[in-house]
């Protein structure tokens, strides 16, 4: 099975082409470990940095104003990407992220960075966001090589809008719609190299029991707004993985029919990382979460290595998690 962890595969640049070679797979935590002990085990074994060049690559990173998204954007800048589109919540956040990226990447010119304000609140807002992204590419007559779709903040309150709870809207439906709009833009001008559509997901989707799949899982999830937050998060991640697999099938069919549509579609999990994804919770919640993150979580820098590596895998990374 393909994996996005750089400790499992070695990535090499040969004539400006990313080549993935098999290596010894990472050891899994001992079976006797569970819960917090498993997280601690993974925390002490972060993935290594992949020596990958993104020269002549145009990259979109959503959630690029903080945490994993920002750290991934820094890595793309350090790897000399041609264009870096930052999907951020506000222009001010984007400007702050831009300054951090320039400082840490030590790139003198800022022309390669474009800021796009992300709005996934409604379908029309997603379409406006897509129009801005397409405009940023058209301005330089470029196509998109990599779309890395990172998480938006976790929503503590399930607010039914348009018959869909908020986490389901943001993390699943709106993200899927944005990916659907972006897919035709990815790698349209470089048939010799695969483009990448990568979703940030979570291994917590593995906690979803089979009995949840009775009838229509999406309909059942939408109808039950009384799910507790952990159950809601796990089911949203399971639906997210199903969406990734759906996009992979679309690519497979189109490639089979036309022999020209080459996009690697995959998902990755950075494991628990220090982040501010719970910033929408009441103040007492971070006070509980932050000490646990300090003990059990990888740094955002370490987690971003998995994200960037997932977007560097060759065709054997297609459909991978």
Q: Which of 76, 233, 261, 271 is catalytic?
A: 233
**Phi, psi torsion values for 113, nearest 5 degrees:** -105, 130
Structure tokens given for 115: 């800021």
In this structure, the dihedral spanned by the alpha carbons of residues 143, 109, 300 and 61, taken in order and rounded to 10 degrees, is -20
Task: Give the per-residue SS3 of 253-321.
Answer: HHHHHHCCCCEEEEEECCCCECCCCCCCCCCHHHHHHHHHHHHHCECHHHHHHHHHHHCCCCHHHCCCC
Structure tokens given for 156: 């503590």
The verdict on whether 231 is a catalytic residue reads: no
Q: Which of 57, 75, 237, 274 is catalytic?
A: 237
Whether 153 and 278 have beta carbons less than 8 Å apart is answered as yes
The verdict on whether 177 is a catalytic residue reads: no
List residues with catalytic annotation: 233, 237
């Amino acid at each position: 099975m393909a994996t996005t962890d750089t400790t499992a595969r070695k990535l090499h640049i040969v004539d400006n082409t990313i080549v993935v070679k098999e290596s010894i797979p990472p050891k899994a935590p001992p079976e006797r470990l569970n819960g917090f002990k498993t997280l601690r085990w993974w925390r002490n074994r972060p993935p290594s940095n992949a020596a990958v060049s993104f020269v002549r690559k145009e990259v979109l990173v959503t959630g690029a104003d903080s945490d994993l998204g920002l750290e991934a954007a820094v890595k793309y800048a350090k790897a000399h990407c041609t264009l870096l589109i930052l999907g951020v919540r506000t222009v001010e956040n984007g400007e702050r992220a831009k300054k951090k990226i320039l400082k840490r990447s030590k790139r003198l010119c800022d022309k390669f960075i474009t800021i796009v304000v992300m709005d996934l609140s409604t379908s029309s807002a997603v379409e406006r966001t897509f129009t801005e992204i397409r405009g940023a590419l058209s301005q330089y007559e470029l196509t998109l090589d990599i779309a890395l779709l990172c998480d938006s903040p976790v929503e503590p309150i399930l607010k039914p809008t348009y018959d869909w709870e908020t986490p389901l809207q943001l993390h699943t439906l709106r993200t899927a719609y944005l990916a659907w709009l972006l897919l035709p833009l990815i790698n349209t001008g470089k048939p010799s190299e695969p483009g990448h559509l990568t979703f940030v997901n979570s291994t917590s989707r593995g906690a979803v029991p089979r009995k949840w799949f009775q009838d229509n899982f999406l309909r059942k999830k939408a109808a039950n707004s009384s799910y507790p937050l952990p159950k809601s998060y796990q089911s949203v991640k399971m639906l997210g993985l199903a969406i990734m697999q759906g996009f992979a099938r679309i690519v497979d069919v189109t490639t089979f029919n036309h022999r020209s549509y080459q996009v690697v579609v995959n998902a990755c999990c950075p494991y628990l990382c220090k982040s501010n994804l719970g910033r929408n919770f009441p103040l007492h919640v971070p006070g509980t979460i932050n000490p646990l993150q300090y003990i059990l979580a990888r740094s955002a820098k370490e987690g971003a290595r998995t994200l960037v590596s997932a977007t560097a895998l060759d065709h054997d990374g297609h459909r991978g998690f």
